[in-house]
Amino acid sequence: MPESEVIIGIGGAAGDGTASAGNTLVLSMARQGIAGYGYNSYQSVIRGGHSWLRLRFSAKKPLNHGDQVDVCIALNQDSLDRHLQELQPGGVCLYNGAKFQPSYEPPTGVQLCGLPVPDLAPDSVKLPVMQNTVAVGAAVQLMGLEFETLAAVFETTFAKKPAVVQQNVEAARNGYDYAAKNFQPLEAKLHRTDQTWAQCSGNDLLAMGAALAGCKFYVAYPMSPATHILEWFANHAKRLGICVRQVEDEISVVNMCIGANHMGVRGMCATSGGGFALMTEAIGMAAIYETPAVIINVMRAGPSTGVPTKTEQADLNQAFGASQGDFQRVVLAPISMGDCFVTPSVAFDVADKYQIPVLILADLLLCEGSETVATDVLNVDFTIDRGELITTADGSHQEPYLRYKNTPSGISPRAIPGLPGHLYVSGTDEHDEDGVLLSDVFTDPTRRKKMVDKRHRKMATILRDLPAPILEGPADAETTLLGWGSTWGVIKEAAERLVADGASVNHLQIKTMMPLHGNEIAAVVEKSQRLIIIENNHSGQFARHLRAETGIVANGHIRKYDGEPFEPKHIVSAVNDIIAGQEVVDVLSTEPGWRTDHPTGTSGPWEGLQQVTQPDVPIKT
Amino acid sequence: MSPSATVVDVKVKDFKPAVHPDWCPGCGDFGVLTALYQACAQLQIQPHNLMVISGIGCSSNLPGFIQSYGAHTLHGRLLPFATGCKLANQEMTIIGTGGDGDGYGIGLNHFIQAMRRNIDVTYIVMNNEIYGLTTGQVSPTSETGMKTKTSPHGNLEGMLNPMALAMAAGCGFVARGFSAQVKHLVELYKAGIEHKGFAVIDVFSPCVTFNKLNTYQYFRDRVYKLEDTDHDTSSFHAAMDKALEWDPKIPIGLFYRNPDPRPPLDALDPALTGLPLVQQDYTIDSETRAELIHEFM
């Protein structure tokens, strides 16, 4: 375990309270200036099954959940059996010793910390979740942190229930004190810093970022992993004056969203791949209406219902191909949870300025994960650029208003409906500059071409308003690692480790998927001898896109489509494989903890380990 | 379109655009459109305060034939679009216009949900019991046994009853007209537009080209006006009884007007209680922003 970094895994069944135990820990860390990153691997059940929340804490802001566990908090026998084996020497395993016992010998150097929970929290007999509080208290002790901040978190969490605060503080205190007397502290120590952190998920930040960017209308249908955006908006609607609706399906969602945008408000909607599939027809409507719209697809593993609680980056082609016909769109993929905050603002501005649909491709990893974000990153004024929007009738208007005026830029000043003197009808049929349909005439090649050209012309200058690729590391490195969207943090760490090991590596991360900064990418790739594209899908959707747009063919591909996100060690190992001559490396999460004979995804209790897999099994040989 | 500033005395001509409808001569939709001009003029609706929104189909070309704001949306999706428009600017009069295939076929779910949701939109359905623009296929309102291009041996399915459906879905204003009786239609439209909440007006609008069964004569022989009877439009049960009448006589007119209607959605949503959304300030002050951030700390 690196100095001043601790990775905690909390395992339990759905309903055992893994998430609330995790939130308590993260918040108490954040309040002490310690940065955190959380990824919860869970299954699609409401009660039972298994979930495994990994929290990485460090003075240096962690950008992924890391690749081992130092502290395991097992909330049930199943979790103890699954995860004890993956602890590293020096690691500790906390569990309710009155209820659970290890089924096998722990790895060498791992401390077993059975907590006599009934003695430490008598309430736990009636209220089993009190075991979580005891364990959290003990974990805080072992990390060498003060108790008071943890106690204050309970005061915030249960602000309206003083009795519950007291109950939790006592239980945590007892766990904290018991651990001091009976267990060895962790070698790694976390230290208080002066940084103020906010702890939020990507969904939180997409929602808040949109609201701060002027979003006045949000509409959605519940779909994991995007549902929380709707919940955030619903909880803040009244206070912020945002109209928030849940409606019958995603077809209704997107049409309502475009309707509101058409009238001149900034409206947004979000869904996942299945719901996005239902939205596709209307995306073409926004394009031919030249009505701005911001639509988020929080990707999960497909196709179809796929693996609803698992992450993947496989909807790139869906975003590119959404809706019939030949029209322009922007597709943005936020590269970190923090970036989720800024992306809606960029999307709204570009949508308004160019009067086009803008799609945001986030994913489960970003949106359901949680990350500490420096408060000064969030405490910023977004400049809101509504583009050429006519919101008042000035009376001096003598020429007939042409909603779809054929201008040199292709952008036509957009009057919002309701203004005197600017009447127009928008048609999903092809139409002329005044909005009158061309579709029902015998044929009109000249005007049809004029209108198609006008809409496409808007894209000539759009790239300069979109986030360019980010190059990190030496420009003349031998190997370039290229990723897009949510993989930025994990590739960054892998690249740093490779460099530390003596490899010549840099890292290029793409956020603007369409249109593509082809020249900028080519300039980087030209200087490097080896291009490796890393993506969370099977077929290399971005690699194909890059080849189509630029002719650049990658030398190696690292792909993962098993539902679990990349960890730094996966990429380090796979890059070395490619340098050694392999072309495509498919990464599978079969390291300890996953490399068990346990049938994954079952919701019943585990029958026991048939064969203990050694924790040091390398993932690639 | 020519600039049209605020008009002092709104007349029918203010709604007539330069574009002439491309419907077949004799199409029922002409009567629907004429009645709409008259109703809007009689209600003194300013053309710039009117937004007419349609789906896809012959009848859905209507927004192009009325001088107002308009949107010709996707097949079946006019009601969600119109709902978004109304929520964004509840000061505008929003009228939805479409056909039976659009509203009762592909868009049926939205129709039911819009009634349940009770958005203040007036929905005029030009019901010709056939798919006209695709040249004569069976529709959800085609009579059982009716022969069409896609039901050559007769329609095997039941006929949708939009009036009974609207009643069951909680619609507060349920009416039916006949496009050959324009004056009657005008009154229904006016009452529907003035109704605060969702209003549906189903209009028999014969397709002279593809529907040889439900012709003008067919309806002339069958329809009678509820206004000529002692029908109690405030009685849900009386209205439901009338909604189920079809053979040999078909009632037209106002079936039901909820005497104690729920306020429309656009009057209930807390974000819309002041100015329309589109006129509201969309910036968030730094103090509120700091509070939002603090929620994560």
Residue of A nearest to B279 (CA): A265
B155-213: pLDDT as tens digits: 999 999 999 999 999 999 999 999 999 999 999 999 999 999 999 999 999 999 999 99
Average pLDDT, chain A: 92
Q: Among A216, A421, A435, whose Cβ lies nearest the Cβ of B277? A: A216
The helix-helix angle for A273-289 and A250-262 (nearest 10°) equals: 30
* Nearest-angstrom CA–CA distance, A85 and A598: 13
On chain B, the residues whose CB falls within 8 A of the CB of A373 are 296
Where is pLDDT greater, at A600 or A127? Answer: A127
Q: Among A255, A378, A384, whose Cβ lies nearest the Cβ of B283? A: A384
* DSSP annotation of B15: G
Q: Is the pLDDT of residue A173 over 90?
A: yes
Q: How far is A397 from chain B (nearest CA, A)?
A: 8
At A600, the pLDDT band (50, 70, 90 cuts) reads very low
Q: What mean pLDDT do residues A558-564 have?
A: 93
Triad A477, A480, A484: Cα angle to 5°: 145
Residue of B nearest to A219 (CA): B84
B236 touches chain A (CB under 8 A): no
Helix (H) or strand (E) holding A204: helix A202-212
CB pairs under 8 A between A and B: 214
Where is pLDDT greater, at B37 or A612? Answer: B37
B3 touches chain A (CB under 8 A): yes
B268-285: pLDDT as tens digits: 999 998 899 999 999 999
At A81, the pLDDT band (50, 70, 90 cuts) reads confident
Residue A350, pLDDT score: 98
Residue of B nearest to A253 (CA): B80
Instruction: Determine whether the interchain pair B283/A214 forms a contact, defined as Cβ–Cβ distance below 8 Å.
Output: yes
* Nearest-angstrom CA–CA distance, A6 and A56: 6
Residue of A nearest to B63 (CA): A425
On chain A, the residues whose CB falls within 8 A of the CB of B74 are 255, 281-282, 285, 428
Q: What mean pLDDT do residues A27-48 have?
A: 89
Interface test with B, best of A423, A431, A437, A441 (most B CBs within 10 A): A423
- CA-closest candidate to residue A518, choices A463, A590, A587: A463
CB A298 within 8 A of CB A318: no
A260 touches chain B (CB under 8 A): yes
A152 touches chain B (CB under 8 A): no
Q: Among B2, B74, B88, whose Cβ lies nearest the Cβ of A264? A: B88
On chain B, the residues whose CB falls within 8 A of the CB of A245 are 87, 269
Q: Is the pLDDT of residue A607 over 60?
A: no
ipTM above 0.85, yes or no: yes
* Nearest-angstrom CA–CA distance, A222 and A272: 9
Q: Among B277, B283, B297, whose Cβ lies nearest the Cβ of A243? A: B277
Q: How far is A187 from chain B (nearest CA, A)?
A: 28
Residue of B nearest to A264 (CA): B278
Q: Is the pLDDT of residue A136 over 80?
A: yes
Q: Is the pLDDT of residue B25 over 80?
A: yes
Residue A3, pLDDT score: 59
Q: Mean pLDDT lowest for which of A582-591, B33-42, B65-74, B125-134?
A: A582-591
Q: What mean pLDDT do residues A111-115 have?
A: 97
Residue A68, pLDDT score: 85
At A594, the pLDDT band (50, 70, 90 cuts) reads very low
Q: Is the pLDDT of residue A293 over 80?
A: yes
Query: Which residue is associated with the tokens 């970094």?
Result: A5
Triad A486, A490, A492: Cα angle to 5°: 105
- The rounded percent of chain A whose pLDDT value lies above 70 is 94
Q: What mean pLDDT do residues A266-274 have?
A: 98
Q: How far is A228 from chain B (nearest CA, A)?
A: 14
Residue B241, pLDDT score: 98
**Pairing state between β A293-299 and B250-257:** unpaired
On chain B, the residues whose CB falls within 8 A of the CB of A255 are 73-74, 77, 80-81, 84
Residue A85, pLDDT score: 85
A424 touches chain B (CB under 8 A): yes
Q: Among A212, A267, A282, whose Cβ lies nearest the Cβ of B77? A: A282
The helix-helix angle for A227-240 and B286-294 (nearest 10°) equals: 140
A283 touches chain B (CB under 8 A): no
Residue A67, pLDDT score: 86
Q: Among B5, B74, B87, whose Cβ lies nearest the Cβ of A428? A: B74
Instruction: Determine whether the interchain pair A258/B84 forms a contact, defined as Cβ–Cβ distance below 8 Å.
Output: yes
Q: Is the pLDDT of residue A602 over 90?
A: no
**Pairing state between β A530-535 and A479-484:** parallel
B275 touches chain A (CB under 8 A): no
Residue A598, pLDDT score: 42
Instruction: Determine whether the interchain pair A428/B88 forms a contact, defined as Cβ–Cβ distance below 8 Å.
Output: no
At A471, the pLDDT band (50, 70, 90 cuts) reads very high
Residue A2, pLDDT score: 52
Instruction: Determine whether the interchain pair B278/A247 forms a contact, defined as Cβ–Cβ distance below 8 Å.
Output: no
* DSSP annotation of B103: I
**Pairing state between β A370-374 and A357-363:** unpaired
On chain B, the residues whose CB falls within 8 A of the CB of A434 are 1
At A589, the pLDDT band (50, 70, 90 cuts) reads confident
Question: Which whole-number Å values give the CA distances from B2 to A158, A421, A422, in the listed order?
Answer: 63, 7, 8
Q: Among A240, A249, A289, whose Cβ lies nearest the Cβ of B109? A: A249
Q: Is the pLDDT of residue A576 over 50?
A: yes
Q: How far is A215 from chain B (nearest CA, A)?
A: 7
Where is pLDDT greater, at A503 or A600? Answer: A503
Instruction: Determine whether the interchain pair A256/B293 forms a contact, defined as Cβ–Cβ distance below 8 Å.
Output: no
Q: How far is B177 from chain A (nearest CA, A)?
A: 26
Query: Which residue is associated with the tokens 């346990």?
Result: A598
* Nearest-angstrom CA–CA distance, A543 and B167: 55
The tokens describing A463, both together, are 């790239």
Q: Is the pLDDT of residue A615 over 80?
A: no
Q: Among A257, A397, A428, whose Cβ lies nearest the Cβ of B84? A: A257
Q: Among B84, B92, B293, whose Cβ lies nearest the Cβ of A379? A: B293
* Nearest-angstrom CA–CA distance, B144 and B154: 7
At A88, the pLDDT band (50, 70, 90 cuts) reads confident
* DSSP annotation of B49: G
Burial state string for A144-154 with b = 16 or more CB within 10 A and e = fewer than 16: ebebebbbebb
Q: What mean pLDDT do residues A526-548 have?
A: 97
Interface test with A, best of B33, B73, B273 (most A CBs within 10 A): B73
Residue A43, pLDDT score: 82
At A372, the pLDDT band (50, 70, 90 cuts) reads very high
Q: What mean pLDDT do residues A53-80 have?
A: 93
On chain B, the residues whose CB falls within 8 A of the CB of A215 are 282
Question: In A, residues 48-107, which contact B (CB 8 Å cutoff)?
Answer: none
* Nearest-angstrom CA–CA distance, A447 and A454: 10
* Nearest-angstrom CA–CA distance, A385 and A555: 41
Residue of B nearest to A26 (CA): B297
Provide φ and ψ at B201, rounded to 5°: -125, 105
B89 touches chain A (CB under 8 A): yes
Q: Among A236, A241, A256, whose Cβ lies nearest the Cβ of B81? A: A256
On chain A, the residues whose CB falls within 8 A of the CB of B290 are 379
Residue of B nearest to A386 (CA): B282
B152 touches chain A (CB under 8 A): no
Q: How far is A517 from chain B (nearest CA, A)?
A: 31
A233-264: pLDDT as tens digits: 999 999 999 999 999 999 999 999 999 999 99
Residue A355, pLDDT score: 98
Beta bridge partners of A218: A244, A268
A314-349: pLDDT as tens digits: 999 999 999 999 999 999 999 998 899 999 999 999
Question: In A, residues 284-343, which contact B (CB 8 Å cutoff)?
Answer: 285, 289
Q: Mean pLDDT lowest for which of A209-223, A605-619, B100-114, B154-168?
A: A605-619
CB A298 within 8 A of CB A367: yes
Question: Which whole-number Å values give the CA distances from A292 to A289, A440, B202, B277, in the listed order?
Answer: 9, 26, 33, 16
At A29, the pLDDT band (50, 70, 90 cuts) reads very high
At A596, the pLDDT band (50, 70, 90 cuts) reads very low
Q: What mean pLDDT do residues A103-124 have?
A: 93
- Mapped onto helix, strand or coil, the DSSP state of residue B214 is coil
At B121, the pLDDT band (50, 70, 90 cuts) reads very high
Where is pLDDT greater, at A13 or B95? Answer: B95
